[in-house]
Amino acid sequence: MFFLSFDEFQKHVSQFTSSRWEVVSKFMFGLCNNQTKSQIQRLLPATVATSDLWSQKKQAIQEFADQLSISISTFDAPEQCPKLLQVSTWLNEANDSEMTNAIMHNLSANLHLSGTFFPTDATSIAFLLASGNKDWKVNINNIQFVADSCVILFQSIELNKCKTPMLYLGFNDMDVEMVALIAKCLRGTEKLWMVNCSLTGACIQALQLGIKQLKEQMEFLYLNNNPFGDSGATHLAGCLGHLKVLNLNNCSITSIGVESLAFALQRLGHKLHILNLRNNSICDAGVSALGTCIFNLDVLDINNCKISGTGAGELAGALTALTQPMELINIGNNAIGDQGAYAFSKCLEKVSELWMKDCGVTETGLKQMQKMHSQLLKNTRVYLGQIPGMGQTYIDLL
């Protein structure tokens, strides 16, 4: 590498196809570091050490990385991250301001990060964010953080005041301190996905402080499969006005947490588009509370929530008072039986789609719903699943 002619060196750079390209490339960039250069020159013959080939070779490498940084902007998000890490690692290791400024000129400010992130990766991205005078937008798509890489990355995002339009952070265990740091980084955040993150009530308390600071409504907040329970639901009630979609599937919420959410929903000046509470034991008391705020929901998912026919009747009664129909209610996998079917048959015009899959409805309940459905002036779709003795599955009443 030191003794190659420039033409041969340039050929290797432009036609880089070695399976060891990443290791060799990093080594080449390391040679561009001024401190490294001065140390290595002591080991070289005087004719090589004083040659201007060094600067020419450095320029060739810089142009190679410059073209790569331009191409990053044209990649789809899943393809972008490996190339982005490649460039940022090179720049971090070279630590050469001239090279950094040249590449930053063409690098897009809209970054997409994904895959497994080690502390060295996070450090390289941190160097990138600190080096460029750009209005950075950092999108994170299913990163698996290793060791303290999450802290390093979000500390840099916070320090450089980056916007974070999309954060898919699922399947990473997080404590209160980590969530509090992420909450400080919610700037222009439209989508936040923190599924299976072991979030507690204290974590949700920290998170909602960041959500409240958003200037625009978040498109969706997915918190599925976290054990924060009623405490977390109560904290979320305080930031419902900043959300359009709230997904709380399997979060150990009972009727107590639902009552807090319902109380806040009653007072919203706009509708929450989707509230997903499936796989929580909210029972009849919880669904009764939801009836008090049903006018402020477009979609309600309470699948598998231990609701009986009595609870279904209370919800159906609340539906009758609506002036505009809801888009969808999913009350499937609850033992509401024919009692629930009869109750909902009286308000079918108040919901565009009603999902009652595997609710224990028999032929009697089906016939009642068919009778009332035939009298509708609008088209309501009702899914009942398998009806015992009918020999049909997923009956669609259209």
Residue 340 in domain: yes
Token pair 């899943």 is found at 78
Residue that has been written with the tokens 């299976």 in this structure? 196
Total structural domains within the chain: 1
* Single pTM value for the model: 0.86
- 5 domain residue, yes or no: no
At 299, which helix (H) or strand (E)? strand 297-301
pLDDT of residue 223: 98
* In-domain check, residue 227: no
Distance CA 96, CA 85 (A): 17
Please count the residues of the chain.
398
Pick 308 or 51 by higher pLDDT.
Answer: 308
Residue 161 counted as domain residue:
no
Q: Residue 168 belongs to what H/E stretch?
A: strand 166-168
The band of 102, judged by pLDDT with boundaries at 50, 70 and 90, is confident
Which residue(s) pair with 297 in the sheet?
272
Per-residue confidence band for 397, with pLDDT thresholds at 50, 70 and 90: very low
pLDDT in tens, 165-175: 999 999 999 99
- Report the alpha-carbon distance of residue 89 to residue 26 in Å, rounded: 8
Q: Is residue 208 part of a domain?
A: no
Buried b (16+ CB within 10 A) or exposed e, 46-64: eeeeebeebeebbbbbbeb
34 Cα distance to chain centroid: 41
106, part of any domain: no
Place of tokens 């996905």: 193
Report pLDDT digits (tens) over 242-301.
999 999 999 999 999 999 999 999 999 899 999 999 999 999 999 999 999 999 999 999
Domain presence at residue 319: yes
From residue 359, alpha-carbon distances to 337, 341, 348 in Å are: 6, 9, 17
Q: How far is CA 51 from CA 1, 6, 25, 66, 205, in A?
A: 13, 11, 22, 24, 62
Number of C-beta neighbours around residue 83 at 10 A: 14
What percent of the chain is predicted at pLDDT more than 70? Answer: 79
Distance CA 260, CA 289 (A): 9
pLDDT per position as a tens digit, 43-98: 666 555 545 666 776 677 667 666 666 666 655 555 678 878 877 887 887 777 87
**CA distance linking residue 194 with residue 192, whole number of Å:** 6
Q: Is residue 120 part of a domain?
A: no
The domain in which residue 366 lies consists of 307-398
Share of the chain above pLDDT 90, in %: 62
CATH number at residue 374: 3.80.10.10
The confidence band for 6, taking pLDDT boundaries of 50, 70 and 90, is low
